[in-house]
Amino acid sequence: MSGSGITVISKCGDCRPSVAHMNNSSEVEQLRLPAIVVDEDDELVKYIWREYLQPKQYEWVLIAGYIIVFFVSLIGNSLVCFAVVKNRHMRTVTNYFIVNLSFADVLVTLTCLPASLVVDITETWFFGSTLCKIVPYLQTISVSVSVLTLSCIAQDRWYAICHPLMFKSTAKRARKSIVLIWLVSCTIMVPQAIVMECTSLFPELTNKTSLFTVCDEHWEGAWIYPKVYHTCFFIVTYFAPLCFMVLAYIQICHKLWCQQIPGSASVVQRKWHSFQCRAQASAPGEPVRVRTVSVCAEVKQVRARRKTARMLIVVLFVFALCYLPISVLNMMKRVFGTFKHTNDRETVYAWFTFSHWLIYANSAANPIVYNFLSGKFREEFKAAFSCHCVGQKPSRTKRRTRASTDSRKSLSTQVHNVDNVSRISDQVVLSHNSVELITTHNVAQETGIETT
- What mean pLDDT comes out for the span 329-342? 89
Q: What is the DSSP-derived secondary structure letter of residue 282?
A: S
Q: Considering only CA atoms, which of 63, 22, 24 is closest in space to residue 43?
A: 22
- What mean pLDDT comes out for the span 138-158? 94
| Inter-residue contact 90 to 84 (CB < 8 Å) | yes
| Inter-residue contact 215 to 6 (CB < 8 Å) | yes
Strands (E), 69-117: none
- What mean pLDDT comes out for the span 142-158? 94
The ranges assigned to domains in the chain are 15-446
pLDDT band at residue 239 using 50, 70 and 90 as cut-offs: very high
Q: What is the DSSP-derived secondary structure letter of residue 204?
A: G
Task: Quick: pLDDT tens for 408-452.
Answer: 444 344 434 434 444 444 443 334 344 333 333 333 333 333 434
Q: Treating both helix axes as pointing N-terminal to C-terminal, what angle do 34-48 and 15-30 enclose, rounded to 10 degrees?
A: 170
CA distance 47 to 15: 10
Instruction: Report helix, strand or coil for 243.
Output: helix
CA distance 75 to 80: 9
Cβ neighbours around 403 below 10 Å, total:
14
- What mean pLDDT comes out for the span 205-231? 83
pLDDT attached to residue 286: 52
Q: Considering only CA atoms, which of 411, 415, 382, 452 is closest in space to residue 91?
A: 411
* pLDDT, mean over the chain: 75
pLDDT of 275 higher than 70: no
Q: Does domain 15-446 have CATH number 1.20.1070.10?
A: yes
Percent of the chain surpassing pLDDT 70 = 65
CA distance 219 to 379: 50
Q: Considering only CA atoms, which of 216, 176, 209 is closest in space to residue 192?
A: 216
pLDDT of 153 higher than 70: yes
Contacts of 29 (CB under 8 A, 6+ apart): 36, 37, 40
CA distance readout (Å), 222 to 125, 195, 226, 234, 335? 27, 14, 9, 20, 13
| Inter-residue contact 425 to 267 (CB < 8 Å) | yes
CA distance 222 to 229: 12
pTM metric for this prediction: 0.73
- What mean pLDDT comes out for the span 264-289? 52
Contacts of 418 (CB under 8 A, 6+ apart): 160, 164, 165, 263, 264
Cβ neighbours around 269 below 10 Å, total:
16
| Inter-residue contact 334 to 230 (CB < 8 Å) | yes
pLDDT attached to residue 107: 93
DSSP states of 287-354: HHHHHHHHHHHHHHHHHHHHHHHHHHHHHHHHHHHHHHHHHHHHIIIIIS-TTTT-S-HHHHHHHHHH
Q: Considering only CA atoms, which of 60, 88, 192, 87 is closest in space to residue 135?
A: 192
pLDDT band at residue 276 using 50, 70 and 90 as cut-offs: low
Rg (CA), the chain: 29
pLDDT of 283 higher than 60: no
The gap between the terminal CA atoms of the chain, to the nearest Å, is 38
Percent helix / strand / coil, the chain, rounded to 5: 75, 0, 20
pLDDT band at residue 400 using 50, 70 and 90 as cut-offs: very low
